[in-house]
Amino acid sequence: MPLEETKQNTSQAKQTQKSTESNPAFDALEKKFLYPEGINQKFDLLVDHIRSVPNEEKIFFTQNLSVMLKSGLSASRAFRTLTLQANNPKFKRALIQITRSVEKGKQISESMKLFPKIFSSIFISMIEAGEISGQLENVLKELTEQLKRSYELKNKIKGALMYPMAILIAMTVIGTGMIVFVIPKLTSIFSEMDAELPLPTKILISVSTTVNSYIFIFAPAVIVLIGLLIYLTRKGLGQKIWHKIILSFPVINKISVKINLAKISRTLSSLLATDMPIVKSLELTSNVVKNAYYRDSLIIMSKQVEQGVTISSQMPQFGKIYPPVVQQMIQVGEETGEISNILNQLAEFYEEDVSTTMESLPSLIEPILIVILGSAVGGMAIAVIMPMFSLSSAI
């Protein structure tokens, strides 16, 4: 009997040694990325401070990790394989360190906490819930679906805004070029004319002269002003004012509500599907939502839910940011105990609605852009052409 136990212990030791033995390719990768020697490699390491990890990398990672773990592969071996396949240097470096941490016996979620800029609090909490419940593969599958939906939604919004942004940038560049380079040359011609210049021309010349005279003050001032406005709209009171304007502005307010509700529904559904407590799910969801009013509402609801109040009973106090259909569906979910599935249906509905809206948005904005562009070009053309008529009549 002791001989059998000795053989069994020896066999287990060999298996443990085999599972944690060094991988030459992984060891070489670790040395290259964590302990760089060349100037280029050291510079690449410094760039990590401003480098971001694209969503495609995270989606590939979670999707393949789920498949590997489901097939019976050990966590350390799965991480080594995925680290070798990662393309983003920052992500690769993080995965190397996580792999070493997992090999030492630490939990995956605990190891990921070292990289909060790569893995969000929701990401880590879902992984932790999967480890506790023993359903990590299913949680990773749910997480992959959430990342995919968020990525698709973000791309659709960016794609819809690309056209109007391109038009506005082109208008700004052309207008600035006219004021800085073209108008000063016409000013010398107009100054030789004895005829009285029309008011639009006087205004245009005055603006051009002012800008060119104080260009080294005006240009930095504009850049600083834009930077200051961006900063103020992302912090405290300035952010709340900006978000209030968005939620009050016609057309834009409806789009904003749909986007926020799609994100809230998708995130809450994913978290509740992992058997995470509703209070913690609401708190984590509030960290994902960008709009200050939705974020505050989720924080308030989480505190009230902790005291035994239902989510649906609290929604009416937040005005129009939660439409009646959302309140009714949440109430049904709470009564039937299927709130996760109800939220998933809400997420799909609003994601589809946002997708349809974003596809039609360029055609809705195009007439407005044409009017703005026509007014700007027409006003500048009138200011330039009117003196020419005066000159021809004088001749």
pLDDT confidence of residue 1: 39
How far is residue 34's CA from residue 30's CA, in Å, rounded to a whole number? 6
**Distance from the first to the final alpha carbon of the chain:** 122
pLDDT confidence of residue 195: 65
Using an 8 Å Cβ cutoff, are 149 and 55 in contact?
no
**Which region, left, alpha or beta, applies to residue 73 given φ > 0 means left and ψ of -120 to 50 means alpha?**
beta
AA letter at 317: Q
pLDDT in tens for each of the 395 residues of the chain? 343 443 334 333 333 344 455 688 888 888 888 888 888 888 888 888 899 999 999 999 999 999 999 999 999 999 999 999 999 999 999 999 999 999 999 999 999 999 999 999 999 999 999 999 889 999 999 999 999 999 998 898 888 888 888 888 888 888 888 888 888 888 877 777 666 778 888 888 898 889 888 989 988 999 999 999 999 888 888 999 999 999 998 888 999 999 999 999 999 999 998 888 999 999 999 988 989 999 999 999 999 999 999 999 999 999 789 999 999 999 999 999 999 999 999 999 999 999 898 888 888 788 888 888 888 888 888 888 887 776 666 55
pLDDT confidence of residue 185: 83
CA angle 28-110-25, nearest 5°? 10
Q: How many CA atoms are closer than 13 Å to the CA of 381, on its beta-carbon side?
A: 6
pLDDT confidence of residue 111: 95
* All structural domains of the chain: 12-148 (1.20.81.30), 155-395 (1.20.81.30)
- CB burial class (10 A; 0-12, 13-18, 19+) of residue 183? buried
Structural tokens at position 360: 């039609």
Of 375, 93, 291, nearest to 299 by C-alpha is 291
How far is residue 150's CA from residue 156's CA, in Å, rounded to a whole number? 10
Provide the whole-model pTM.
0.80
pLDDT confidence of residue 296: 94
Of 135, 16, 132, nearest to 77 by C-alpha is 16
Using an 8 Å Cβ cutoff, are 297 and 132 in contact?
no
How far is residue 123's CA from residue 119's CA, in Å, rounded to a whole number? 6
Whose tokens are 């509700």? That residue is 261
How far is residue 365's CA from residue 387's CA, in Å, rounded to a whole number? 34
Whose tokens are 């996580």? That residue is 98
Using an 8 Å Cβ cutoff, are 291 and 256 in contact?
yes
- Residue partners of 126: CB distance under 8 A and separation at least 6: 139, 142, 143, 270, 271, 274, 276
**For the chain, what is the HEC assignment?**
CHHHHHHHHHHHHHHHHHHHCCCHHHHHHHHHHHCCCCHHHHHHHHHCCCCCCCHHHHHHHHHHHHHHHHCCCCHHHHHHHHHHHCCCHHHHHHHHHHHHHHHCCCCHHHHHCCCCCCCCHHHHHHHHHHHHHCCHHHHHHHHHHHHHHHHHHHHHHHHHHHHHHHHHHHHHHHHHHHHHHHHHHHHHHHHCCCCCCCHHHHHHHHHHHHHHHCHHHHHHHHHHHHHHHHHHCCCHHHHHHHHHHHHHCCCHHHHHHHHHHHHHHHHHHHHHHCCCCHHHHHHHHHHHCCCHHHHHHHHHHHHHHHCCCCCCCCHHHHHHHCCHHHHHHHHHHHHHCCHHHHHHHHHHHHHHHHHHHHHHHHHHHHHHHHHHHHHHHHHHHHHHHHHHHHHHHHC
